[in-house]
């Protein structure tokens, strides 16, 4: 007797459902995607008991013809692709022809639709099985309503994995937000137990887009976000990225879309993380809403049933493009931009001051307060770095004085020739402007120093109000950026190893090392091929003599293989420079003269990434006169 049997369709659908229907939120995702594919401009989502009891999704899209209703519910039935070529350049969110069949196999589903401009629609029911062919007339405007009740009523194993009503609803909310961020031209209404939770009106102007992003990601995100829009090699990256000081303790405010599809992709996360690497507080996560537009023929979206992943045909180009676009956007932030970003975006989004998170305190302060305790502990009350690990690290490194002469970077002594020059110039300017200080046009963005507070902070007055600068943090960044430039410009000092190190690697890595000999050389390494599965390190940069060179070379090889380039060595050197900059910068409790303070302010304005210290903490804060007036209830 034959042991192999064809699965009954219902069981086959239930197995397939295991891949896409994990919880109520996955049903909402599939149904919303169908509504969007149908060209809806308004979608109403009604949820009861976290979606476990009922989910109703109603749209005004093009609807389903009466004759197609039965097919829509069966497996492998789709109107979106017909031949393999269509899949190669698919422009719709769905294409597998499985979602409705899967959902209907694990719930009680009613599909009602009207494809015509009339008030009469048709309704089809399925209860955990192939649809019964019976259609009943049902009143319905043009569009479609899907009602899903009693999810997993016939698959108890799945039902056990459902969490509380609140948790399940939170996930639904996330799905709606994620899709709403990619479809500004669609109105979304989300209700839970008859209460409206989100009412997102459609709109495609800049102001309306800003409003939606602020509604979804919070006004504080908007106030701290930079707008990016970069186009190169047929790729476009646009959206909003938060300033590094607006970082999060979790990676929960990260939205990335490829041609309108929300994705989570390792290559993309790596590129973004790398772009933020030098400016983010340790252990914190960047916040962003970014859209990548790319020729659909060069991305494979058919990687996973949930379609959360994609595969780029030319991953290296995409990685490089995302990294360099964001890297430059972040490096280019100057105090001037930061001061204008917040106010212009917030007003464009129609946000009043009072609606911003934190009410009377600037959001950056709030966010800093929400930093992990361990991170806060690194700051002693006097503002010094109190990080034991760091000092130990510093003491244990024997820096090659020839490579980085401390004199060049003037640790604890700010008077380099440039600074002296700037001090003379600005010292006079500050002196002369201290009385008539608010002639707005010629006041630089960070203004002029008016005092030093407790030997830690510089207080300065600019055209809009008060600037408070963390002197050590700011100087640290200025010194660090200078050291990096010097390092990049000068040739790297290298030293041969007394005993060359042999490294056992894979054949692929040997080939990679062979084709990247020059890259290694530029970085001060001499790496030779020693055998089919081994390489020999003969020479290393002096600055890395105490580092774990073997591990570094391994990591670099694996980076090059995976992403086409590696920044490990540079990162490592940067870490060392950063530590040196930290220890070489002006300490708290050092009295600065007015010209010195002004020189530092001018340096900050001219330095890349000067909004954060090397550890990603903010270097300065701004309090507008309007904010200060509010403290004293002036003009209210
Ligand atoms: N809200 C809707 N409005 C109009 N047509 C719809 C709607 N929902 C489903 N359909 C029709 O039903 C078909 C089947 O939907 P289903 O979600 O099962 O598959 P799909 O969207 O084609 O692919 P995928 O499984 O990848 O989502 C769709 O191809 C579409 O023609
Ligand atoms: Mg679908």
Q: How many other CB atoms are found less than 10 A from the CB of residue 215? A: 19
Strand ordering across the sheet containing 534-541? 494-504, 534-541, 526-531
CA distance 616 to 608: 13
Q: What is the phi/psi pair of residue 516, to 5°?
A: -120, 25
- Longest CA–CA span in the chain (Å) reads 102
Ligand closest to Cα of 144 equals: 1
H or E element that contains 623: strand 620-624
Ligand closest to Cα of 307 equals: 1
pLDDT at 60: 97
- Both tokens of residue 340? 């204008």
- Take atom 17 of ligand 1 and give the residue whose Cα is closest: 99
- Take atom 27 of ligand 1 and give the residue whose Cα is closest: 94
pLDDT at 246: 85
Ligand closest to Cα of 61 equals: 1
- Take atom 11 of ligand 1 and give the residue whose Cα is closest: 72
H or E element that contains 464: none
- Both tokens of residue 592? 């600065």
Ligand closest to Cα of 73 equals: 1
**Closest ligand 1 atom number to CA of residue 20:** 25
Interval 565-604: pLDDT, tens: 777 777 777 776 776 677 667 776 778 889 989 999 999 9
Instruction: Confirm if 345 and 210 have CB atoms less than 8 A apart.
Output: yes
Instruction: Give the torsion sign (CA, 308, 234, 560, 512).
Output: positive
pLDDT at 393: 24
pLDDT at 311: 92
SS (H, E, C) 56-120: EEEECCCCCCHHHHHHHCCCCCCCCCCCHHHHHCCCCCCCCCCHHHHHHHCCEEEEEEECCCCCE
Cα 296 to averaged position of ligand 1 atoms, centre (Å): 20
Interval 605-620: pLDDT, tens: 988 888 888 777 889 9
Closest CA to 467 of 614, 632, 597, 280: 597
Among the ranges 231-240, 335-344, 425-434, which has the highest mean pLDDT value? 231-240
Instruction: Confirm if 609 and 619 have CB atoms less than 8 A apart.
Output: no
Interval 154-184: pLDDT, tens: 999 889 999 999 999 999 999 999 999 999 9
Ligand closest to Cα of 95 equals: 1
- Both tokens of residue 311? 């595969």
pLDDT at 383: 31
Closest CA to 326 of 263, 259, 278: 278
pLDDT at 413: 39
Q: What is the phi/psi pair of residue 136, to 5°?
A: -120, 145
Distances (CA, A) of 72 to 77, 340, 353: 6, 51, 49
pLDDT above 60 (res 400): no
**Closest ligand 1 atom number to CA of residue 30:** 27
Antiparallel, parallel or unpaired: β 311-312 and 299-300: antiparallel
pLDDT at 370: 31
Distances (CA, A) of 454 to 23, 24, 449, 465, 594: 55, 56, 14, 20, 15
Instruction: Confirm if 477 and 609 have CB atoms less than 8 A apart.
Output: yes
CA distance 192 to 179: 18
pLDDT at 382: 33
Query: Which residue did the predictor score with more confidence, 552 or 367?
Result: 552
Cα 192 to averaged position of ligand 2 atoms, centre (Å): 23
Q: How many other CB atoms are found less than 10 A from the CB of residue 555? A: 16
Ligand closest to Cα of 80 equals: 1
- Both tokens of residue 185? 């031209």
Residues lining ligand 1, CB < 6 A?
30, 34-35, 38, 59, 61-64, 72, 77-80, 94-101, 144
**Closest ligand 1 atom number to CA of residue 115:** 4
- Mutating to test ligand 1, I would choose from 27, 63, 78, 121 the residue with most ligand atoms within 8 A of its C-beta, which is 78
Decide: helix, strand or coil at residue 518.
helix
pLDDT at 424: 45
Antiparallel, parallel or unpaired: β 620-624 and 120-127: unpaired
- Take atom 28 of ligand 1 and give the residue whose Cα is closest: 78
Antiparallel, parallel or unpaired: β 42-48 and 187-192: parallel
Cα 94 to averaged position of ligand 2 atoms, centre (Å): 4
pLDDT at 519: 74
pLDDT above 90 (res 459): yes
Cα 29 to averaged position of ligand 1 atoms, centre (Å): 12
> What end-to-end distance do the CA atoms of the chain give, in Å?
89
CA distance 565 to 318: 12
Helix axis angle for 507-515 and 549-563, nearest 10°, is: 90
Cα 262 to averaged position of ligand 1 atoms, centre (Å): 18
**Closest ligand 1 atom number to CA of residue 101:** 18
Closest CA to 335 of 616, 604, 596, 598: 604
Closest CA to 601 of 435, 429, 464, 432: 429
pLDDT above 70 (res 421): no
**Closest ligand 1 atom number to CA of residue 78:** 29
Interval 335-366: pLDDT, tens: 776 676 544 444 444 433 333 333 333 333 32
C-alpha triplet 480, 476, 459: angle, nearest 5°: 140
Cα 137 to averaged position of ligand 2 atoms, centre (Å): 24
Cα 265 to averaged position of ligand 2 atoms, centre (Å): 21
pLDDT at 392: 23
Closest CA to 325 of 231, 405, 220, 248: 231
**Closest ligand 1 atom number to CA of residue 102:** 18
Ligand closest to Cα of 72 equals: 1
pLDDT above 60 (res 394): no
pLDDT above 50 (res 435): no
Cα 37 to averaged position of ligand 2 atoms, centre (Å): 8
The pTM of the full predicted model, rounded to 2 decimals, is 0.71
The size of the chain, in residues, is 636
- Mutating to test ligand 1, I would choose from 20, 94, 307 the residue with most ligand atoms within 8 A of its C-beta, which is 94
Cα 36 to averaged position of ligand 2 atoms, centre (Å): 9
Ramachandran assignment for 63, one of left (phi > 0), alpha (psi -120 to 50 degrees), beta (any other) = left
List, in sequence order, the alpha helices (H) in 497-631.
507-515, 517-522, 549-563, 568-584, 594-606, 625-631
Q: CA-based Rg of the chain, rounded to a whole angstrom?
A: 30
Interval 269-287: pLDDT, tens: 999 988 988 788 777 889 9
Cα 236 to averaged position of ligand 1 atoms, centre (Å): 29
Residue 4 burial (10 A CB sphere; 0-12, 13-18, 19+): exposed
CA distance 272 to 270: 6
CA distance 53 to 196: 17
- Both tokens of residue 596? 């010195």
Percent of the chain topping pLDDT 70: 80
Instruction: Confirm if 240 and 289 have CB atoms less than 8 A apart.
Output: yes
Instruction: Tokens 């108890």: give the residue.
Output: 156
CA distance 111 to 66: 11
- Take atom 31 of ligand 1 and give the residue whose Cα is closest: 79
Cα 64 to averaged position of ligand 1 atoms, centre (Å): 9
- Take atom 29 of ligand 1 and give the residue whose Cα is closest: 78
- Mutating to test ligand 1, I would choose from 16, 28, 37 the residue with most ligand atoms within 8 A of its C-beta, which is 37
Instruction: Give the torsion sign (CA, 343, 347, 351, 354).
Output: positive
- Take atom 1 of ligand 1 and give the residue whose Cα is closest: 35
**Closest ligand 1 atom number to CA of residue 62:** 4
Cα 196 to averaged position of ligand 1 atoms, centre (Å): 27
Percent of the chain topping pLDDT 90: 45
- Both tokens of residue 486? 């010097």
Strand ordering across the sheet containing 254-258? 225-232, 235-242, 288-293, 254-258, 261-262
CA distance 414 to 471: 12
Q: DSSP state, 447?
A: -
Among the ranges 11-20, 355-364, 378-387, which has the highest mean pLDDT value? 11-20
Q: What string of DSSP letters covers 162-217? A: ---HHHHHHHHHHHHHHHHHT-TTSEEEEEETTEEEEEE----SHHHHHHHHHHHH
Average pLDDT rounded to a whole number, residues 2-23: 87
- Take atom 8 of ligand 1 and give the residue whose Cα is closest: 34
Cα 256 to averaged position of ligand 1 atoms, centre (Å): 24
């Amino acid at each position: 007797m034959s042991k192999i049997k064809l699965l009954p369709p219902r069981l086959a659908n239930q197995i397939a459902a295991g891949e896409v229907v994990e919880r109520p939120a996955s049903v909402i995702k599939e149904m919303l995607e169908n509504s969007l594919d149908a060209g809806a401009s308004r979608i109403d989502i009604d949820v009861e008991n976290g979606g476990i009891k009922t989910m109703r999704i109603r749209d005004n899209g093009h609807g389903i013809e009466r004759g197609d209703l039965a097919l829509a519910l069966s497996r492998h039935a789709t109107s979106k692709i017909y031949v393999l070529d269509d899949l190669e350049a698919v422009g719709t969110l769905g294409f597998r022809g499985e979602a409705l069949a899967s959902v209907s196999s694990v719930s009680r589903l009613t599909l009602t639709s009207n494809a015509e401009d009339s008030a009469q629609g048709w309704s089809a029911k399925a209860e955990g099985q192939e649809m019964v062919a019976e259609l009943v007339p049902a009143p319905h405007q043009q569009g479609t309503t899907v009602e899903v009740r009693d999810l997993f009523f016939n698959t108890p194993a799945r039902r056990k994995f459902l969490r509380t009503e609140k948790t399940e609803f939170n996930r639904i909310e996330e799905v709606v937000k994620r899709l709403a961020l990619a479809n500004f031209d669609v109105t979304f209404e989300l209700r839970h137990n008859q209460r409206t939770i989100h009412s997102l009106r459609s709109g495609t102007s800049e102001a309306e887009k800003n409003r939606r992003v602020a509604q979804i990601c919070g006004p504080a995100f908007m106030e701290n976000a930079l707008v990016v829009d970069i186009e190169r090699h047929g790729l476009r990256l646009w959206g909003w990225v938060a300033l590094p000081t607006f970082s999060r303790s979790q990676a929960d405010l990260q939205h990335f879309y490829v041609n309108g599809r929300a994705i989570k992709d390792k290559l993309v996360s790596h590129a973004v993380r790398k772009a933020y690497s030098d400016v983010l507080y340790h252990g914190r996560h960047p916040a962003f809403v970014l859209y990548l537009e790319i020729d659909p023929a060069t991305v494979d979206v058919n990687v996973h049933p949930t379609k959360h992943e994609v595969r780029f045909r030319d991953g290296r180009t995409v990685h490089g493009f995302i990294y360099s676009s964001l890297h430059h956007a972040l490096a280019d932030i100057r105090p001037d931009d930061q001061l204008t970003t917040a106010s212009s975006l917030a007003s464009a989004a129609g946000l009043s001051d009072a609606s911003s998170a934190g009410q009377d305190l600037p959001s950056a302060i709030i966010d800093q307060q929400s930093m992990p305790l361990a991170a806060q502990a690194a700051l002693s009350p006097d503002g010094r770095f109190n990080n034991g690990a760091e000092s130990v690290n510093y003491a244990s490194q024997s820096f090659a004085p020839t490579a980085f002469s401390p004199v060049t970077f003037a640790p604890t002594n700010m008077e380099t020739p440039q600074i002296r020059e700037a001090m003379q110039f600005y010292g006079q300017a500050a002196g002369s402007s201290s009385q008539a200080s608010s002639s707005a046009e010629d006041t630089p963005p960070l203004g002029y120093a008016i005092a030093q507070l407790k030997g830690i902070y510089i207080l300065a007055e600019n055209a809009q109000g008060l600037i408070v600068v963390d002197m050590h943090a700011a100087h640290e960044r200025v010194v660090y950026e200078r050291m990096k430039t010097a390092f990049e410009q000068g040739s790297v000092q290298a030293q041969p190893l007394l005993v060359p190190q042999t490294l056992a690697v894979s054949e692929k890595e040997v080939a990679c090392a062979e084709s990247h000999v020059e890259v290694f050389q530029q970085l001060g390494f001499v790496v030779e091929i020693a055998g089919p599965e081994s390489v020999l390190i003969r020479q290393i940069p002096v600055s890395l003599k105490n580092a774990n060179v073997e591990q570094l070379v391994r990591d670099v090889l694996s980076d090059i293989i995976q992403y086409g380039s590696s920044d490990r060595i540079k990162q490592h050197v940067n870490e060392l420079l950063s530590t040196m900059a930290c220890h070489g910068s002006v300490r708290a409790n050092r009295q600065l003269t007015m010209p010195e303070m002004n020189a530092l302010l001018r340096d900050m304005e001219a330095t890349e990434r000067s909004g954060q210290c090397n550890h990603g903490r903010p270097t300065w804060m701004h309090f507008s006169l309007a904010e200060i007036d509010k403290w004293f209830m002036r003009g209210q």
